[in-house]
Structure 1
């Protein structure tokens, strides 16, 4: 329990989504030419690229170190423009017993969204969640987008600024604890995870009420920050609480920023899903990966505090 997880990055892109599907299915060797700082080579073994069951070795740089990974193409869905790869050899399996990546593209009219999902099982509890691999994925998406986006689409205001990051964590304590904390007792979170959250106060309304305004003080990426949020939604059936940022330093970088925490419970299994939905104020603003890492650290501290 507590070793399984999922990380997701959804990125709106300015180029056509078919470019991504074609590259990762049929032309993986071209990706190293497009984003050489991250991918350095791709060798296909046994079968042709783009065939279920085919294997390829990917060389890449992660956290400043050159690494390699052998992966097998497990699934192709042309309708969804989805590819699923599973790691079968490489440095990454020293940390994770299982590690899979899914890449698929959603297209609605002129809007194209790449969704990169990492499913993993840690080899031990003290292994870090692979947030840095999600950052690598975002960098690769950005590199491919910059390479292929044409000048006309770059002129379209707002294109490529929206995104979503998701952390899905299996926990050892009961999921109702999380829902109760974020709905009724957010002021107690600072006692549980003081290195990350320092306070939570009510400005308007009351805890656990839609429309209430809360003020949070916390540390993100080594810097102290504060923000005001409005409780935008509470769903008891889904055990979901949604916060919309109304004030704070974060709005200097993001026009919109929404944080949602919900809990899934099936039998004895409890999974917390923390979603960050955002829109950048401009293209050079980084995706809020540090806020996702903060969310994961808060989940871990609450789990450790309450786990029996």
Structure 2
């Protein structure tokens, strides 16, 4: 990993699943981190509360809200780089509250971009999502694949990515768009498919309630995603600025086959029950995602450490080990489906 000892990196969404892992990886690389967490009256720092104390010595935590432009300008002051991860990401909730996705994912991103521009940062990494492609029209999916907003969430992320790229084109801001495919691992929301399977099994259930099991996904272990996002900070400008770059393992697996792998790792026999509440509207379901990760290999010098079926099994084993720790499992309501 590149040396980041001269960096003071602003990380939005650092209290979240991927963001907390990014903070850890940045500190390992020698960076000082200014971690933005979503303000709340509980004084919770989200998943940063579980990060080892020796890591947190290099982290300044600031509570606020990216929807406030004045807060963001103050937060970005003095920072050398920005990793922007803060977003509403739950697809089911985007059907319920689409306006909030525009406020956070689009307007919030504009606020972070404006603040970064005023701070004169040397690199701005925008975190995208494979959901912007919709169901794959060609595979593996290259970065020039059409963008199709099949949910309010994906539409808001298309808009926020384009806003970031527009700042690069309009103001010569050093923007890199990193587009992770489906990330999984310790600390993920139990709303996501892999944690929901693991947490149901871990709490004794053998009839697992799921939505559609036929769609395929390209699953990436969270440390691979974190390394790829940080590579967006450190890659040579001529190979990365103004670019959109996929992060993925480079293979696809169905949700059903993923269930079988998890059950095998956990040593149980299970049945799948379809839960209507977990099904997306028919035209909104993304049926197939499979990343072409060649651009990340060539231009970021990145490669997945948990690639292919063998790598995914190792990642699942790590994830199962974390979720089955009673201290971690107790943080989840495995019997309640959270949109």
Q: One fold, TM greater than 0.5?
A: no
Q: Name the TM-score, length of structure 2 as normaliser.
A: 0.27
Q: Name the TM-score, length of structure 1 as normaliser.
A: 0.29
Give the number of the structure whose residues are more often strand, by fraction.
Answer: 1
Structure number with bigger Rg: 1
